[in-house]
Structure formats: C-alpha cells, structure tokens
Structure 1
Amino acid sequence: MKRKKFFFAMVALLLVPFALIGQDGAIQGTIAYTGDQAGPIVVATLAIPPDLNEPLKMDTLVTPGEYSFQNLSDGTYFVAAFMDVNVDGLPGFDEPIGLFPGAIVIENSSQMTDIDFAIDQLSRGSGKISGQVHYTGANTGEVHVYAFGLTKTPFTSTHFTFGGDNVYSLDGLFGGEYLIVAFMDVNGNGSPELNEPVGMVEEKITIDEGEVIENIEITLFDAEMHSGSIAGVAVYNGLQAGDIHVASIGLSLTPLNDVVADAQTGEFTIPHLAPGTYHLFAYVDVDSSGGFDVGEPFSESYLDTISVAIGEQIEGMELELVDRGSGTIKGNITYTGTEQGLIICAALGLSATPLAPGFAFRLGDGPYPYVISGVAPGYYTVAGMINSSGDLPSDIDEILESPLGFYLDDFVFVAQGDTVSEIDFTIEDSANSVISGNIVAPEEVHGKVYLFALGISKTPFLQQTLDDAGAYQFLPVGAGKYIVAAFMDVNGDGKYTTDEPIAFTQKLQSVATNSERGGINLQLGANSLS
C-alpha cells in the first residue's frame, strides 16, 4: 500500500507541479457581469495537482452572483467562469468569460473569501462563415456547429434544431484559418457521443478580416454509414485472464471504437470506420471494467499508424499483448550532498506505463547508475529522490522536502523494445538557482505586472509582482523545467481581464542546479486574446 501511495504522489508531482493536501478548505466569492447577454454562469475550480477523483469541480449559477466551493483539499487553485449563452455546456469565445487573476492557496483548511472577479465579453471580429447542414439518416435532435481556429476567435459555436432550413451561421470571427465540425445531439446532453451523427468540412476555411463566406456545406454521417474496417488477431500468452479489447483511435469522423476479440481465436474486426489515420491499442480487461487499467496486459504497437481510405478493408493485423513494456531508460545520477539513503527514480510517461519505478544504489562518490525497465513506448520525464527514512513517501510534501532532481533536456522518447541511455541528471538538497529576464510592454501601456513560474521541479509554483514592465528575478529556484507567464493589470483592479496584455513562454525552459537561467524575456501583448 505504501508503494502504491508513493507512485500516485509521484504521478501528481510530475503531471502538474504543485502541492495538495487536506479536505476542509473553501473558496467563496462573487462573479460580476455588466453586459447585455444572458445565460447560466458555469464556474469551475482546478486544483494543481488535480484531485484524481474529481479534477475539475464545477457549479452552475442561474445569474451572476455569489458562488462557493466547499470541502477543498489544501493546495493551489485557479477559478474561472463563463456565461453559457447558447447553453451547449462549453465556453465560446463569443460568450462572456473571465478568471480570477492569481493562484488561490489553501493552507490548513483555510476559508478563502472575497475571491471576486468579473466575466466580460471578448472582442468580436466582423467575419462570418455560414452554410447548410445535410443529413439523410433517421436520427433527430439539435445540430451543433463549431469553428476552431488559431486566431483571436479560437472557438465559437452555434446550434439549431434539425428539420427546418438547417442553415447555420458562425459570427464574430477574426481573420484566420478555421476548422468547421458539427454533430447531432441525439440524446440531448449537449456533448458529442461516438454513436451520434457527425461531420466536418474537409478543408480548413481561411477568412480575411471582415470577410463573409457563405455556402459552406456540412454532411452528417451516422457511424454505420462508414464502410472502412480493420481486422486481425490479438494474442496474449500470459497468466492474467479477461476479455481482449481492441480499440482504434483515429483522426477521423470515427475517432474511437472498441471491440472484443474472439475468446478462442483472438480474431477481431473494427467496422464502420471513416477515412483517416488510426492507432490500434489492445488490452486484457482483467477487472472487467470496460477500460484499460495500469497493470493490465497491453499491446506495444499503439504508436504505429494505419491509414484507411474510403470503404477500405484492412486485414492481417497482428497484435501481441505483454504484461510489461519492453523498453528501458538508464543513466547516471549525481548527488554531492550529505543525505543518506536509497535513490528512488521514476519515469512518468504518456504511455501504457505512466509510472515506471527504478532504483540507484549509492556506492562510492558517484555518479550512481540507475536502470528503469518495463517501459512502454511513449514520451517520459525522469526524476529521482533520496529516501532517507526507509519508508516510501506517501504525499507531495515529503517528496518536495527530500533531495530531488529531474532530467532537464527534452522529454525522453522510448520506442518499442528500445533502450535509451545517458539520461543523466543531478539531485539537489535545496533550491539554489535563479530565473531572470525582462518584461517588455508597449510604451503607452502601464500597470502592475503579475508574474508566475510553473515548474516540474522542487519549486513548482513561484509568483511575484512588479510595479511596471522591467527586469524580474525568481529565486531561489529548483532545477527543473518551467513555463513563465505574466500579465499587466492595466485597469488597476488586481484582476486579469481579457483585454489586458499577457504573455508566456512557448516551451518549457530548463534550469540547471546552482545556476542562473537568464534571458527569459516576455513581450506583453504578444499572446493577448483581444
């Protein structure tokens, strides 16, 4: 049990680097809105790292006003809200939205009151995309049409009841490139389901500022209308027992399918596939949960891609299931401190083995070699700590207070059966590094600057303020990888609003032990939504 708790603690630490304990805290405040739109207010709070049982706590208010979240663990929280004008359950960039401008820290079950903020209407463009939706199946329901773009209008939507003229119009768009998708909400829950009709515009739509593009047709398809398929055999020769599931995950109109292979022969067929590119993942459902759980046998070929053309029947796929991954990560760990104990290391990955443990024995002055085996294909972060107590730590605080270190270069990619060597890193007793740079803003804009450094490190959350744009410095900083972000509080209300300049580093910044990582400069306004 102690080992299991330690594994979950390491997962939480590496996934999103903040601290969380306790169970009786509260966040309360008021959400204000002064515009002319109407709709329920959806408010949400996210703990960092998230509560694995309920990562995103949500509530809905009939109108703007007071909100409250109770029974919160100690930790770091962020709160945001939006007005669900079109009642689709999702925030649109044509809907009022807002967030509390800083992190909310709950300690010793504290009651955090007056966490007030406003939701505002974002700036709207003058462009429009419109057209008609076609569907020849037997289902009925509301049709939701979405536009996604890497623009100042990254997401907007509309909806209508199918059966009339079936015309849609996506308004308020800024210039840029958009992907248009749609689905029919047959069961009325506001979210797309795998068995509901879905369609998309095959080519992205490029719109200039103020341009109106018409007659963009979308055809919805039922899943059974697609005639592509993938067939083969899944084989497992281990000791665990259960149904073998084979899932296809694809960039297509049939993104996820799951079938059970024949219990005797292992043969499977995944029918009704739309054209697209797919990955296959097979697993033994030992606990009969209907989904894959860590520790269950799985196939390692899930990174391979399979292209399916219109109506194509692909056969002869062979999937071999194993009890553990066949990859290995190894390297050397440097530690020059005085703490005694075993070095525990772990690889956290986006893979079928999300946490793979290892150990390094301290013989001599080091560096100390380590090996992490049983690793499935995927991308990994590697970390290590010194365990001086003889018991595996069971919470984040114990880990952060121990000598700790992380591999600082890019994430480690492990192919099937591959051994990745020279993944070397240093463990440090305490944070002793510096992050520095300059905040630059337009000459005509002034205000207090709020800065944040979020890290996979011994110091996972750092915050400070400047009176105006200029030089900044975070210290002490633990070795690790960081995102640095900042916004300028132009209106002086102590809160972030969507028309205020904001910026953040576009990739993780590595910081070595006992060093200064300078030159992390941010140009405020470069990433503004408005």
Structure 2
Amino acid sequence: MRSKSIFFYKVCLLFLSIGMALMGVGVLIVQAKGWEQSVASPGEGKSPNAPGTITGTVTYTGTITGTHMVWVGAFTSTQGVPPAFSVMRDGPGPYSLADVAEGIYYIMAGMDADDSGGPPDPSIDPIGLYPNNPVTVTDSTLITGVDIALYDPTPPPTDTGSILGWISYTGQISPTHHIIVFVTRWGDQAPTYFSVIPGAGSYTITNVAAYTYTVGAFMDLDDDMGPPQPDEPFGWYDPLGDGAPDLVVVDEGVQVMGIDIILADPLHYIYMPRVSRADAP
C-alpha cells in the first residue's frame, strides 16, 4: 500500500503544492509590487555569459473586464521567494523574459484584477502556472511555448466541513521539519486538499466538501515542499492499525475531529550474509 501511494503522490504533490500555494495556503508568496521588467535583482544575477530567454503567451478566460496589468515571473523555488526574473505587460498576450541566468525555474503569471499594484490576492486575482514546470535555462537558451492560462479564482464551496487532528512523531529525526497533511477523495489518486504545519502537532483543514476521504501525512525532510521521498516519515489515518488508510466521512457543516496520524520512520534493512560452518575434511 505504501509503495503504491508514494508513486502517485510523488507525481501529483509537487504540482498540488504549487497550485494550493497560489490559492492562498501560504507556501508561495508572490511579491508583485516593485518588480522591474525582465530584470533580476542584485544577487539573483544576470548571466555573465549569454543569458537565456523564455517566451510564451498569457491567456485569460473569465468575467473580469477592462485592461489590467499582467505579470510573469520565473521563480527559483516554491517557498515564498520573489521571482528571480519578471516582466509586466498591459493585459494578456505574448511575453518575453529576457536575460534569464542559467538555472531551473517555475514560471507563473497573474493579473492585477483590482489594480492595487500590491502583492497578488488569490481570492481576487487570476493566477496560473506553466503546466510543464519547471523549465531549465542553459547558456544562450531560447525556450518558446511557455504558455500560461489564467482563470478567475474558484470561490470556496459553501456546503463544506472541516477535518481536525493531531500528527505525532516519535522517530529518530531531530529537529523535526514541516509536515504536509493531505486529504484525498475516496477513489481518486490526486490529493484534493492539504495543509502544512511546522512540525508535529495539531492541524485543521477547512472548506472540505461533503464526501468520503482518506487522510495521510509525511515529514518534509528537505523542507522543499516537494513530493514525499522514500526516506521521509509517513503515515495514514489508520485507527485499525492494519497499514491501510481508513475512511473519513465529511458532512456539510460538520467538524470531523480526532483524525490523528502517527508518522513512522521508514524501515531500513541491513544485509547480513549467512555464515555456515564448514567442517574440516
């Protein structure tokens, strides 16, 4: 069960963590105010040789009218850093990120729907990301077709409940690291909701639509908000103790409490050669 879960969560949690951060979880904080067009801040460095260029088109589908500033940023991390390179334009359309230093980047874009000039507000501003992130820029690279679609923010569902619980860990890793708790609709593979807590302790996941779910968690040893790795402590909500996730039923307006999870260190096997006695002839 664990090996299967690691496989599909490694595929989807990286992009889920980015997407949920854009929805206001707080993993990614995009600092839009004061950006300069296609320029890296000091220390984030233009390439001294031949920098690369990233081009594409930003599109928008939604109900917002008028022309508003659209930004595109190249981020080196999904952990709340400002973009290393950025460009702004009036409304959706083609863009070009020039003078991009060699490296690996996550390309994201957004629209300042309320013309505030401040940091993006995920509850108001359309925000999107390049679906094939990350992109790799090498010397003199021209990367085309990095297209990003913007859509209106999805309002939170009204008929929702909450999941509350406690994450415990008594393993050998010290100090502890961020813990990611994820909630998956029964029958699906990709997690539907998730929460990040600074270490073992209580968690709350709100605005959970009425349905049946499984709940799991893992300790992010690299603190990179990436997918779980085989050496990271992992656990399911499993009160039966059979190693398989047990179901959690969420009803409208109900707080489901006591969804506690124990994180366990992965098993490590040591090869011990078998020694047999050899009688002398």
- Between Structure 1 and Structure 2, the one with more strand by share is 1
Give the number of the structure whose alpha-carbon radius of gyration is greater.
1
- Report which structure shows greater RCO (CA 8 Å, sep ≥6): 2
